[in-house]
Chain A
Amino acid sequence: MKTPWRTFFRQNRGRMIAAVALVLFVAYAYNRNAQITEAVLASSLRQSIPLILGALCGLIGERSGIINIGIEGQMLMAAFVSFLVNVKTGSLILATIAGVLMGALMGWALAFMSVTLRIDQIIGGTVLNMIAFGLTGYFYQVGLATKGKFQPIAIPLLSKIPIIGPVFFQNPPLTYLTLVLIFVVHFFLYYTRWGLRTRAVGEHPRAADTLGIDVYRMRYMNVTLAGMLAGLAGAYLTLEAVGSFERMMTNGRGFVALAVMIFGKWDPLSAWGAALLFGFATALQTQLQFMGALQIPHQFIGMLPYLLTIIVLAGVGGRTRPPAAVGQPYVKE
């Protein structure tokens, strides 16, 4: 007789093995050098934040049938607006809100291009990216400086737990917000009417339309809301991670986020795992470089996240299934 447990183990064999291996590895590393282990893990989480936010943005869009390769541009514009607002007002909160709104505006623009104008979605995203590169380059002035950045807040009690405490519970506010948002998106996607409709619109818009769901409205709303997440990623880069703005500072994270989304099979929690993996690769690479353990030119180490993206895409490509209607403009009858 099959018990539910047995089915669970069978279905998640790969993940279970990975989880056990991860715990053993962390325990071993912690035993060897507690300080470095904590530092690398904390850095993995920090590196994963913009990636998971970008991936969630892409995921909500694709679940409703819109490919978004403009995440890079959304992040960059949001990072820039956050920077400007912080420079002008000195407020971190206002700057974050401005970044989030900018992300939403860019998301709306993508929806407008792909739903109303029916521009090929990949070209639409490219337009967003190029507009972001152009505008941030044009309006950026050297010499402006931000007024402070978000500081870590230790959560009482929880932050005292070894390993888990310093990694998860001694972070600045946007990191906490992101961690909460992952579960919020997961919940909304699978347990609410909105989520069901979103998935319906992404899988079979015609059927959804027949049932009275407004496909255009769903797509507009979702891509705009999702843009807020990319906007938050931009705000995070300026206000929490770096504390400043540089031209092209997103450095391809918006595209890596898409690989994270695909690797995570368009599922929020799996995507988080994928984002942590990418974050870990980056953190490990930085640490190795810092310790001088690798006699490899820094350019080769710098290639690692991009190589990993290609390998992951090549590895999972063809074995994953994107939402069925992704990329196709919907035309009402």
Chain B
Amino acid sequence: MRSVLLSLTAIALALFIGALILLASGVSPLVAYGALLKGAFGDAQALQRTLEKATPLVFSGLAVAFAFKASLFNIGAQGQLLLGAIIAAAVGFGVEGLPPYIHAPLALLAGATAGALFAAIPGVLKVYTGAHEVITTIMLNYIAINLTDYLADGPWKDRSPMNIVARTPAILESARLPTWGPIPSGFVISVILAGVIYWLLWKTTFGFEIRTVGQNRHAARYAGISVAKVMIATMVISGLLAGLGGAVETQGVVGRYQPGFNVGLGFEGITIALLAKTHPFGVVPAALLVGAMKAGSSQMQFAADVAKEIIDVIQALMLFFISAEFLLRRMLRMKEEAGEEKLVLSTGWGSGD
């Protein structure tokens, strides 16, 4: 409960500073935030937009949070998500003659696999060479951008006569994910997965191993846990989640792969994972919050003439305040609880340890 209070305080502080920035640029925060709310929850259409924006964020948030449990920082969720998105698109437009109940899951699976394989690279590099995943995953993000740009502008380019931009053909109807009323089916999948991840982390031996490795690598090794195996498996599952996020975005919202359409989703996963205090169930409301901000930002730009990027600033501030627990606890006069899990990512920096 206390960690929820911390997160809420961080969100409130971020919105407050965001309001100051808005004031400084001559915009009334009430008008801007009002438009944001209206654009996010004003009607059924707005609600659907919010859920659609939140869906890939649940996946990327889960991906980052899951890796955090083993003290691994997967900044590469972005790249894994891109690969998942384009591979799902390729299966979606390239494989013909399948019924929807086979085609759609097949494309999802392909996207998830692509993300998992891509995330295995930094995992293997970390275990066998000691290259820190923070740098390798960031580098792989740039490689993924180049690779997907090449595919969307080369072998998988939409060759229809009307098209001049880099993008793949539209996926077939049978690969599309349905929307039930205002609720995209992808969102339902993401919520179910949050439950699965919770189960995996706290109800299985493997989850126990992951958390032990995360808390103390040396103790884990001493207890007979194969740290190498756990770290690689954690990265693979994390990448699987991110890749699935990309696939769901392709099959549920965009309908094809187009460069530039999935930018930032992986990075937002970091903010979401930390807002959620790395708990899978916290990821869903955190993703809804960020999704609502993204969904409402167009309305805000239209009604209050505020550049959309303000929500990036607010998100960065949220990330700052939620990380500054020390500061928050002082403000709230809250003591540290015994036995709390701490997130330490800076071990093994630069060396193989």
Chain A positions near chain B (C-beta within 8 angstroms):
62, 67, 69, 113, 117-124, 126-127, 130-131, 133-135, 137-138, 140, 251-252, 255-256, 258-259, 262, 297, 299-300, 302-303, 306-307, 309-310, 313-315, 317-318, 320-322, 326-328
Beyond the given pairs A120-B323, A314-B125, 17 more chain A to chain B contacts, judged by CB atoms under 8 angstroms and listed by A's residue number, are: A62-B350, A113-B320, A117-B324, A120-B345, A124-B323, A126-B319, A133-B312, A255-B135, A256-B139, A299-B146, A299-B153, A303-B146, A306-B143, A307-B139, A313-B129, A322-B349, A322-B350
Within 8 A of A (CB), among B309-330: 309-310, 312-317, 319-320, 323-327
- Contact indicator B326/A320 (Cβ below 8 Å): no
Contacts of B349 in A (CB 8 A): 67, 122, 322, 326-327
CB closest residue in chain B, given A136: B309
The docked-state distance in angstroms from the alpha carbon of A315 to that of B327 is 40
Question: What are the residues of chain A within 8 A of B139 when measuring CB–CB?
Answer: 252, 255-256, 259, 306-307, 309-310
28 A–B contact pairs at CB < 8 A?
Answer: A62-B350, A117-B323, A118-B326, A119-B325, A123-B343, A126-B75, A130-B267, A131-B316, A134-B312, A134-B313, A138-B21, A138-B310, A138-B313, A251-B142, A252-B138, A252-B139, A299-B149, A299-B150, A300-B146, A303-B142, A303-B146, A307-B143, A313-B125, A313-B129, A317-B131, A318-B129, A326-B349, A327-B347
Contacts of A307 in B (CB 8 A): 139, 143
In the complex, what distance in Å separates the CA atom of A190 from the CA atom of B323?
35
Q: Within 8 Å of chain A (Cβ to Cβ): is B346?
A: yes
List the A side residues contacting B134 at CB < 8 Å.
Answer: 69, 122
| A318 in contact with B313 (CB, 8 Å) | no
**Residue B58, interface by CB 8 Å:** no
Does B240 belong to the interface (CB within 8 Å)?
no
Q: Is B160 on the interface with A (CB-CB < 8 A)?
A: no
CA–CA, A254 to B56, complex, Å? 27
B contact face: mostly helix, strand, loop, or mixed: helix
Which one of A297, A299, A315 has the highest number of Cβ atoms from chain B below 10 Å of its Cβ?
Answer: A299
Give the top 5 A-B pairs by smallest Cβ distance, nearest first: A318-B352, A327-B346, A318-B130, A134-B312, A317-B130
Residues 55-91 of B contacting A (Cβ, < 8 Å):
73, 75
Complexed CA–CA distance, A327 and B150 (Å): 38
- Chain A nearest Cβ from B336, distance in angstroms: 12
Closest Cβ of chain B to A132, distance in Å, is: 8
* Interface hits, B329-353 → A, CB 8 Å: 343-347, 349-352
Number of residues from B at the complex interface, CB < 8 A? 51
| Chain B residues within 8 Å of A, Cβ to Cβ | 21, 73, 75, 125, 129-132, 134-136, 138-140, 142-143, 146-147, 149-150, 153-154, 267, 270-271, 274, 307, 309-310, 312-317, 319-320, 323-327, 343-347, 349-352
Whether A119 and B146, one on each chain, are in contact in the complex, defined by CB atoms closer than 8 angstroms, is: no
Contact of A119 among B136, B154, B326 (CB under 8 A): B326
Q: Given A117-B326, A326-B350, are A134 and B138 also a contact pair (CB < 8 Å)? A: no
Give the residue name and chain of the B residue nearest to A307 (CB): B143
Contact A320 B351 (CB under 8 A): yes
**Min C-beta distance of A84 to chain B, whole Å:** 14
Q: Is the CB of A120 within 8 A of B129?
A: no
A130 with B315, Cβ < 8 A, contacts A300-B150, A303-B143, A320-B350 known: yes
User: What B residues does A130 contact at CB under 8 A?
Assistant: 267, 270-271, 312, 315-316, 319
CB distance from B127 to the nearest CB of A (A): 10
Q: How many A-B residue pairs have CB under 8 A?
A: 148
Q: Which residues of A contact B326 (CB under 8 A)?
A: 117-119
> A-side binding surface: helix, strand, loop or mixed?
helix
Residues of B within 8 A of A140 (CB): 309
Q: Given the known A-B contacts A118-B326, A309-B135, A309-B139, are A123 and B345 also in contact in the complex, defined by CB atoms under 8 Å?
A: yes
Alpha-carbon separation in the docked complex, A126 to B139 (Å): 15
Assess the A122–B346 pair: CB atoms within 8 A.
Answer: yes
Query: How distant is the Cα of A259 from the Cα of B75 in the complex, in angstroms?
Result: 16
A306 CB contacts on chain B under 8 angstroms: 139-140, 142-143
Cβ contact within 8 Å between B319 and A303: no
A residues within 8 A CB of B131? 310, 313-314, 317
- Closest chain-B Cβ to A314's Cβ sits at a distance in Å of 4
Min CB–CB distance B265 → chain A (angstroms): 14
Bound-state Cα–Cα, A321 to B348, Å: 10
The residue in chain B whose Cβ has the minimal distance to the Cβ of A317 is: B130
Using Cβ atoms and an 8 Å threshold, which residues of chain A touch B309?
Answer: 134, 137-138, 140
Q: Considering the chains assembled together, what is the distance between the CA atoms of A62 and B313 in angstroms?
A: 27
Query: A120 touching B346 by the CB < 8 A rule?
Result: yes
Check A131/B146 contact, CB under 8 A, given A121-B346, A326-B350: no
